[in-house]
Structure 1
Amino acid sequence: MEPKIKETAWNPELENQILKQWEETRLYNFVPKDKNFVIDTPPPYPSGRPWHIGAAAHYSQIDMIARTARMSGNNVYFPIGIDRNGLPVELYTEKKHGIRMQETERSKFLELCRNSLDDLEAEMIQIMKSLGLSGNFDNYYRTDSEEYRILTQSTFIELWKKGIIYKATRPNNYDWVSGTTIADAEIVYQDIPTKLVYMKFKIKDSERTVIIASTRPELLCACQTVIVNPEDQRYADVIGKKIIVPVINREVTIRAHHSAQMEFGSGAVMVCSYGDQNDVALFREMKLEEIVAVGMNGLMTDAAGKYAGLKVKAARTQIIEDLKNADLVEKIDEITHRTPVSERSKIPIEIIPMEEYYVKQLDAVDKIRDIGQKIRFFPEMHKQILMNWLDSISIDWPISRRRYYGTEIPIWYCKRCSEPHVPEPGKYYRPWQENAPFAKCAKCDSTEFVGETRTFDTWMDSSVSPLFISKFGKDEEFFKKTYPATLRPQAKDIVRTWLYYTILRCDQLTGKAPWSEAWIMGYGLDEKGMKMSKSKGNVVDPLPVIQKFGADTFRFWSASEINHGYDFRCSEQKIESTRKFLSKLWNVSRFISSYPVVDNAKPTATDQWILSELDNLIKECKKGYLEYNFFVPAVAIREFTWNTFAANYIEMVKVRAYGDGVTEEEKNAAIYTLHKVLSTILLLLAPISPFITDFMWQTLYSKETIHMQTHPNPQGLEDMSKFTKDIADFNSQVWNEKKSKGLSLKDSISIAIPESLAIFAKDLIQMHKIESR
């Protein structure tokens, strides 16, 4: 008979036809019901070439979650968004147009940013569609849209009125390249080679010197005290005495403090404003007067004397040279220093006192910890990232940024008395551009106002994503049905930012956790195990790979390569090798499509064996799908299809399916089982490889898409897996013996069938053309 599947091989170009069908039938439109499965999908960020191959793998697996949920009987809400706020697009725009933000008219710069984002966004949407993401692209959102920014500003206004937001001047992490404050969560630590300089500090009115080791001698001008450990007997007699800061020649007092580590350097430590967060804490505790040594432009200030105007590195080099010339250096060690670096600009941060707006978070840590404990993490080990971050929080969250492309802070200040005024929520405000929506100052009755020019930290926008998709404050009925969301899928590197800030903000605004589950993915690395980055030149663009091999090949590689939660390596060679499995599945399906579907039959022992193994496969797949770990079903389906179903069962029943020397009942049993197993494989594989499975399903089994079906359940058959190894071993034995005798597989052979396989004898005899002895 002619196979119903006409094509001799799976052609990835068919994916475009299937995509078109999904779009035309509006297959993934969402209509809320009383109970819904809501995914708080991460809105990807277009900056430069959008995405690398690891990110594409991440999003293909998020789609597997959505498809699994639908096939489990859930009403799935899978929103798609694009994150368009913040620093990366500003840096991209500056580089693209050869301009600097601060030197460009603000409206013009914002327009250039929007245009850059539009181009990058189009490619990102193309990649997501090509991957087969089953979200509703007709209504995807942008975090820089007026609607989204209204929500961000409205939530700020609500928290302002609750007293959760305040303004203060305090030392902040400062990225002088980007020109803005950054939160602790936006800092990464890198081991950077540097010099540990052992400097000679002279005690006043004494010949004695104290050696102090520091990696930042350029901050000598900001030194306000020297501390030693109170238990350090080397310095017991000098505590309280004056010591002279070398080169700067200013007197400071030696004090006792437990934070001085006796084993580091000489045990004596200079305390400057501000070398690190420990300095910040000591200045507060000791009530020291700060000296600002580094300015917002990254240059040394006038406080640095003759080093004023130098870049930090240049000042460090010069002051080391001056210390040497004055014989004030005992030695210099070349060391690797753990240095706080801006996650965005990749340069070491400075700590500078600045006036910023803060969201209170210190008093919320215990509650967020309780909420976090109740959220189910997949895998559970990544919950610890959140817990470790909560343990490290030491200050409130600075949320104001000195940038342009972001949601504006909706505040106007009285020109006379500087009193801040916050408008009513519900509109999108641009204080830097618009007149104040107030007639007069509530404090002094002045009628003149000055608008705030700063924008929000981008996480202020991103952290309300579950509120935006559920139409918080806009559609109460929709909100009730979609909030809290079910699941937050994301990468592990933004647990301490996006995941944490979302829990914090949503609890402050709703009193509820934003979701009950969090799905955390590892990093996509290059084929050598290195993290991908544009600077290293090892980023793999996913679009050409998808176009070359097809989305289903890419998606199956993603599922079968990545053990959920762990880092994974990406290589085109591995993706190409995955195509072999889909080719095998195609060939098996095409063979089976030669036979008409049989609705019911009485299975033989051979059929019962493969159906019991099919039951085991269903159980294994369900286990993986329940944990959103697609590695489990992908590997199980491949192993079963290739090595059990195709290599053994199909070969055992081919003759019976042809109807040679068997009853009609035995023939129908083989055909029924072939289709039963294949249709079940397609249903199990559908979330992972949605195109090929839908094509085969609609060709062979139904006019309705496979993605409207439910996952199969085990039939509860007697477990016959004890026979599987013996069957495979016997078949291999026969094939090897024929090969050793120079026989073809179609030739007959005389060989004894093991007694343990007697119930399969008829099929084995026909399969191998075994002659009776």
Structure 2
Amino acid sequence: MEPKIKETAWNPELESQMLEQWERLHLHDFVPEEKNFVIDTPPPYPSGRPWHIGAAAHYSQIDMIARTARMAGNNVYFPVGIDRNGLPVEIYTEKKHNIRMQETERSKFLELCKSSLDDLEAEMIQIMKSLGLSANFAQYYRTDSEEYRILTQATFIELWKKGIIYKATRPNNYDWVSGTTIADAEIQYQDIPTKLVYMKFKVKDTGKTIIIASTRPELLCACQTVIVNPEDQRYKDVIGKKIIVPVVNREVTIREHHSAQMEFGSGAVMVCSYGDQNDVALFREMKLEEIVAIGTNGLMTEAAGKYAGMKVKAARTQIIEDLKTADLIEKIEDITHRTPISERSKIPIEIIPMEEYYVRQIESVEKIRNLAQKITFHPEMHRQILMNWLDSITIDWPISRRRFYGTEIPIWYCKNCSEPHVPEPGRYYKPWKDSAPFAKCTKCSSKDFVGETRTFDTWMDSSVSPLFISKFQSDPEFFRKTYPATLRPQAKDIVRTWLYYTILRCEQLTGRVPWSEAWIMGYGLDEKGMKMSKSKGNVVDPLPVIQKFGADTFRFWSASEINHGYDFRCSEQKIETTKKFLSKLWNVSRFISSYPVIKDANPTETDRWILSELDNLIKECRNGYSDYNFFVPAIAVREFTWNVFAAHYIEMVKARAYGDGFTESEKNAAIYTLHKVLSTILLLLAPITPFITDFMWQTLYSKETIHKQRHPEPQGAEDMSRFTKEIEEFNSRVWNEKKSKGLSLKDAISIEIPEYLKPFAKDLISMHRIST
């Protein structure tokens, strides 16, 4: 008989036909019901060449979640958006047009940013569609749209009125390259080689010299005290005395403090504004007067005296030389220092006093900790990332940024008395260019206002994504049905930012946790196990790989390579190897398509054995899918299809399916079982490889797409897995025996069938041409 599947091999070009069919059927449109499965999908950020292969793998698995939920009978809401706010596009635009943001007219710079994003976004959407993401792309959102920014501003206004947002001047993490304050969550730490300088401080009127070790001698001008541990007997006689800061020759007092580590350096520590967060805490506790040594331009200020105007590194080098000349250095050690780095610009941050807006978070830490216990984490181990972050929070969240491309802070100030005025929500406000929507100042009645020029931290936008997709404040009925969302899928590196800030903000605005589940993925690494980055040049562009091997090959590689929650290595070679399984599946399906589908039959022992193994496969796959761990079903289906179904069962029943020496009933049983197993494999693989499974399903089993079917369920077959190893070992023994005798697999052989395999004897005799 001619196979129904005409093509001799799976052609990835068929994937575009399936995409067109799904769009034509509006297969992934969403109409809310009383109960819905809502995915708070991460909006990817187009910056430079969008995405790398690890991110594409991440999103393909998010789509597997959506498809899994549909096959479980859920009404799935799978929105998709593009995150277009923040620093990366500004940096990209500056490089692309060879301009500087602060030196460019704001409206013009914003237009250049938007144009850059449009080009990059188009390619990102193309990649997502090519991957087969089952989202409704006709309605994808942008975080820089007027609609989205209206919501961000409205939530700010609401929290302002509640007193949760306030303005204060405090020491802040400052990225002088990007020219803005950043939150603790935007800091990474790197071990950087540096010098630990042991400097000589003279105690006034005693002739005594104290050695103080520091990695930042450029901050000598900002030193306001020297501390020693109260238990340190070496310094008992100098507590309260004056000590002379070298180079600047200023006197400060020696004080006791438990934070001084006796084992580090000499045990004496200079406290400067601001070398690190410990300095910040000490200045607050001791009520010290800060000295700003480093400006927002990254240069030393006038407080640095003759070093004013120098870059920090240059000032450090020069001060070390001057200390040497004055014989004020005992020694210098080369060490590795854990240094705070800006996540965006990759340069060391400085701590500089800045006036910023803050969201209160310290008082919410325990509440967030309790809410987090209500969220199911997949995998559970990544809950600890959030808990560790909550333990580290010591200050409120600074949310104002001195950048252009972001949602504007909706505040105007009275020109006369500086009173801040916040408008009513519901419009998109641009205070830097719009007239104030107030007739007069509520404090002094002045009619003149000046608008705020700063924008929000981009996480102020991103953190309301579950509110935006559920139409918070714009469609109460839609919101009631879709909030809280079901699931937040995301990478582990933004647990401390996106996941945490979303819980914080949504609780402040709704009193509820934003979703019931969080699905956390690991990093995509290169072939050598290094994290991919553009600066390292080890990023693999996913689009050419998808075009070369097809989306299903890429997706199956993603599922079979990544044990959920762990980092994974990416290589084109591994993806190409994955294609072999889909080729095997295609060949098996094409063979079975030669036989008509039989709705019912009386299975033989051989058929009952493979149906028993199929039941076990279904159970294993369902366990993996229930935890959104696609590694489990991918590996299980591949192992079963290749090494059990194709290698043994199909070979055992080929002759029976042909009707060669068997009854009609036995023949029909083989054909029924072949189709039963294949159709189940297709259903089990549908969330992972949606294209090839739907093509085969519609060719062989139904005019309706496979993506409207339900997950297969175990049929309650008797467990016959005890025979699997015996069957495999017997078949291998026969094949090896033939090989050792120089026989082909089609040649007859005389060999005894073990007693325990007698129920399968008729198929085994036919398969191996065993003479009796």
- 1:10-159 map, 5 Å: 10-159=10-159
Q: Give the equivalent residue in structure 2 for 1:527.
A: 527
Q: Which residue of 2 aligns with 1:603?
A: 603
Residue type of the alignment partner of 1:245: V
The letter of the residue matching 2:165 is I
**1:457 equivalent in structure 2:** 457
2:3 counterpart SS class: coil
**Any idea what SS the aligned residue of 1:478 has?**
helix
Distance 1:257 1:373 in 2: 37
1:555 Cα offset (Å)? 0.2
User: What amino acid is aligned across from residue 388 of structure 1 in structure 2?
Assistant: N
Deviation at 1:306, TM superposition (A): 0.2
What pairs with 1:317-466 in structure 2 (closer than 5 Å)? 317-466=317-466
How far apart in 1 are the matches of 2:526 and 2:372?
32
Q: Hey, what's the Cα distance between the residues in 1 that align with 2:123 and 2:287?
A: 54
Secondary structure, counterpart of 1:543 in structure 2? helix
Query: Matches of 2:755 and 2:647 in 1, distance apart?
Result: 22
What does residue 659 of structure 1 align with? Answer: 659
Which residue does the alignment assign to 1:508? 508
Q: Residues 446-466 of structure 1, C-alpha deviation per residue, up to 9 Å, x if partnerless?
A: 000000000000000000000
2:551 alignment partner in structure 1: 551
Q: Deviations over 1:475-523 (max 9, x none)?
A: 0000000000000000000000000000000000000000000000000
**2:519 counterpart SS class:** strand
Deviation, 1:713, is 0.3
Amino acid at match of 2:109: F
CA shift at 1:374, angstroms?
1.1
1:201-212 matches, cutoff 5 A: 201-212=201-212
**1:61 shift after superposition:** 0.2
What is the identity, as a one-letter code, of the residue corresponding to 2:148?
Y
Please give the secondary structure, in 2, of the residue aligned with 1:332: strand
- What CA RMSD, in Å, does the superposition of the two structures yield over aligned residues? 0.3
Partner SS, residue 288 of structure 1? coil
Matched residue type, 1:771? S
Deviation at 1:373, TM superposition (A): 1.1
Q: Which amino acid aligns with 2:123?
A: E
Aligned AA (1:310):
M
Residue aligning to 1:316 = 316
Q: Matched residues in 1 for 2:265 and 2:548: separation?
A: 58
Q: Tell me, in whole angstroms, the C-alpha distance in 2 between the residues paired with 1:536 and 1:503.
A: 34
C-alpha distance in structure 1 between counterparts of 2:145 and 2:265, whole Å: 53
- Which residue in the other structure is 1:704 paired with? 704
* SS of alignment partner, residue 373 of structure 2: helix
1:771 and 2:760 correspond: no
Per the TM alignment, residue 66 of structure 1 is displaced from its structure 2 partner at its CA by 0.1
The match for 2:301 is: 301
Matches within 5 A, 1:609-624: 609-624=609-624
- 2:362 and 2:768 map into 1 onto residues whose CA distance is 74
Give SS of 2:200's match. strand
Instruction: Give the drift of 1:679.
Output: 0.1
Aligned-pair CA distance for 1:207: 1.6
Matched AA of 1:206: T
Give the whole-Å Cα distance in 2 for the aligned partners of 1:740 and 1:20: 53
- Displacement after TM superposition at 1:756 (Å): 1.1
Q: How does 1:250-329 map to 2 (within 5 A)?
A: 250-329=250-329
Q: Secondary structure at the match of 2:160?
A: helix
Please tell me the residue identity of whatever aligns with 2:577: S
Aligned residue type for 1:413: Y
Following the alignment from structure 1 to structure 2, what is the Cα–Cα distance between the partners of residues 27 and 368? 38
**Which residue in the other structure is 1:198 paired with?**
198
Question: 1:542 — aligned with what?
Answer: 542
Q: For the residues of structure 2 that align with 1:755 and 1:194, how far apart are their CA atoms?
A: 75
Q: How many residues in Structure 1 have an aligned counterpart in Structure 2? A: 772
Percentage identity across paired residues of the two chains: 86
Match of 2:218, SS?
helix
Q: Which residue of 2 aligns with 1:594?
A: 594
- 1:155 Cα offset (Å): 0.3
Match status 1:722 vs 2:722: yes
1:25 & 1:315 partners in 2: Cα distance?
A: 66
Q: What is the deviation of 1:206? A: 2.2
Distance (whole Å) between structure 2 residues aligned to residue 401 and residue 163 of structure 1: 20
Q: Which amino acid aligns with 2:149?
A: R
How far did 1:112 drift? 0.2
2: CA distance, partners of 1:327 / 1:472: 67
Task: Provide TM-score, normalisation by structure 1.
Answer: 1.00
Shift, 1:142, TM fit? 0.1
Structure 2 CA distance, aligned partners of 1:337 and 1:675? 64
Supply the distance in 1 between the matched residues of 2:506 and 2:337 (Cα, whole angstroms): 38
Partner of 1:647: 647
Q: Residue type matched to 2:661 in 1?
A: G
Aligned to 1:746: 746
Give me the whole-angstrom Cα distance separating, in 2, the residues matched to 1:21 and 1:331: 74
Q: Distance in 2 between matches of 1:581 and 1:345?
A: 43
Query: In the aligned structure 2, how far is the partner of 1:534 from the partner of 1:68?
Result: 33
Looking at structure 2, the residues matched to 117 and 247 of structure 1 have their Cα atoms a distance apart, in angstroms, of 50
Q: Deviations over 1:618-637 (max 9, x none)?
A: 00000000000000000000
Aligned-residue offset at 1:312: 0.2
1:565 aligns with 2:565: yes
Superposed CA deviations along residues 371-430 of structure 1, whole A, max 9, x for unmatched, are 011100000000000000000000000000000000000000000000000000000000
For 2:9 and 2:636, the matched residues in 1 are separated by 23
**Paired AA for residue 306 in structure 1:** K
| CA–CA separation in structure 2 for the residues paired with 1:756 and 1:138 | 60
Q: Quick one: which amino acid aligns to residue 756 of structure 1?
A: Y
Structure 2: 5+ residue stretches without partners: none
Give the letter for the 1:696 counterpart.
M
Amino acid at match of 1:74: N
* 2:221 alignment counterpart: 221
CA distance in 2, matches of 1:616, 1:58: 28
Correspondence for 2:182: 182
Aligned-partner Cα distance in 2 for 1:267–1:753: 82
SS of 2:253 mapped into structure 1: strand
Partner of 1:374: helix, strand, or coil? coil
Distance 2:714 2:591 in 1: 25
SS in 1 for 2:211: strand
Alpha-carbon distance in 2 for matches of 1:206, 1:112? 64
What per-residue deviation string (whole Å, max 9, x for no partner) do you get for residues 193-241 of structure 1? 0000000000001221000000000000000000000000000100000
CA deviation map 1:58-88 (0-9, x unaligned): 0000000000000000000000100000000
Letter in 2 for 1:660: D
Distance (Å, rounded) in 2 between the aligned partners of 1:534 and 1:496 = 23
C-alpha displacement of 1:136: 0.1
Tell me, what secondary structure is at the counterpart of 1:471? coil
> How far apart, in 2, do the equivalents of 1:522 and 1:495 lie?
11
Q: How far did residue 552 of structure 1 move?
A: 0.2
Residues 618-665 of structure 1 show CA distances to partners (whole Å, capped at 9, x for unaligned) of 000000000000000000000000000000000000000000111110
Give per-residue Cα distances to partners, 1:686-716, cap 9 Å, x unaligned. 0000000000000000000000000000001
Aligned equivalent of 2:497: 497
Segments of 4+ moved more than 2 angstroms: none
Amino acid at match of 2:383: K
Counterpart residue identity of residue 250, structure 1 = R
Deviation by residue 1:558-600 (Cα, 9 ceiling, x = unmatched)? 0000000000000000000000000000000000000000000
The alignment partner of 1:507 has SS state of: helix
